[in-house]
Structure 1
Amino acid sequence: MSRTDRASRVIAAPPATVYGALLDRESLEAWLPPDGMRGKVERWDPRPGGGFRMVLTYLDHIDNPGKTSDATDVVDIEFADLTPSERVVQRAVFEADDPSFAGAMTMTWHLSAAGGGTEVTVTATDVPPGIDQAAHEAGIASSLANLASYVEAAG
């Protein structure tokens, strides 16, 4: 059965600014890793059909074992659709030996103007069953909070 996880947040920045942070390598490294992780982009090709590879490292891997190794999650992301200032659709595949993390998860970042800012809604579909739903939604919310802090500080 396919599962969908969601989170949203209003960010005090225009859609074009938020969209730019979704497609900038250094920006992604700064805000995408949820609390308790750090990230490094190893490959970068910001166009439809392109994508990136990110290594996420747990700061406390004893209590939070990774999917790829004891301390890491490695994910290959393909940009499936890029609609400037409106939407970024990503297909994410985790490197993992455990089949409960297998498959392509689709992450849709939808941006809509909201007052003087942007409502960002993230919808993850086809989430692998090995990913805990509550933890995943908390991780997405954490990334959105980081994104808000990042773009609001720059503005």
Structure 2
Amino acid sequence: MGRTDRTDRAGLVIAAPPTTVYDALLTPEALEAWLPPDGMRGRIERWDPWQGGGFRMVLTYLDPTGSPGKTSDATDVVDVEFADLVPPERVVQRAVFEADDPSYAGTMTMTWHLAATGEGTEVTVTATDVPPGIDQADHETAIAASLANLSSYVEAAG
């Protein structure tokens, strides 16, 4: 039961308008550039950018030593459904990792909330129903790293 009570979150103010940030959440080339955590490369295999659609991303460890993947030793494969799309305010994703290990099983919900601020866009990411095999501190660090990558990506593009 502890799994349902856990919420992982991270936030960052990004120096870009909400529409620019929202577009980076719904463009495959952008997601491949900023979503993979440090030390991983991402490739989108399926792309259906509408509510009820989603995408499949293969994440490959650049150096798999000591970082066993969830799907294979060197990869994580995640299927993501767009559960809710409210431009330019919110993207709700339901993510399922392909894994034999039951501690990574289940559907994790990631809510990306975008709010305009004087400096740009405050982006808050909230993850619920996180599989227990994913360490909370590591996960929040990874979300924060993805937000930093997103910030660099949209600021460079702008």
Same fold (TM over 0.5): yes
* Moved segments of 4+, more than 3 Å: none
Q: 1:90 aligns with which of 85, 88, 93?
A: 93
Note the 1:138-149 alignment, pairs <5 A: 138-149=141-152
- Aligned to 1:129, the other structure's residue is in SS state coil
Give the aligned partner of residue 112 of structure 2: 109
Q: Pick one of 24, 39, 44 that aligns with 2:42.
A: 39
Aligned-partner residue type, residue 36 of structure 1: G
Corresponding residue number in structure 2 for 1:48: 51
Over the aligned positions, Cα root-mean-square deviation in angstroms equals 0.6
Q: Provide TM-score, normalisation by structure 2.
A: 0.97
The answer for the alignment partner of 1:81 in structure 2 is 84
Query: What letter corresponds to residue 94 of structure 2 in structure 1?
Result: R
Counterpart residue number, 2:102: 99
Distance 1:110 1:61 in 2: 32
State the match for 2:137 in structure 1. 134
Q: Deviations over 1:52-71 (max 9, x none)?
A: 00001111211211000001
Identity %, equivalent residues: 81
Q: Matched residue pairs, number?
A: 155
Letter in 2 for 1:30: A
Whole-Å separation in 2 of the counterparts to 1:42 and 1:56: 11
**How far is 1:116 from its partner?**
3.1
Q: Which runs of 5+ in 2 are unaligned?
A: none
Match of 1:153 among 144, 153, 156: 156
Unaligned ranges ≥5, structure 1? none
**TM-score using structure 1 length:** 0.99
Q: 2:136, 2:119 → 1: CA distance?
A: 31
The one-character-per-residue Cα deviations of 1:13-71 (angstroms, maximum 9, x if unpaired) are: 00000000000010000000011111000000000000000001111211211000001
1:61 pairs with 2:25: no
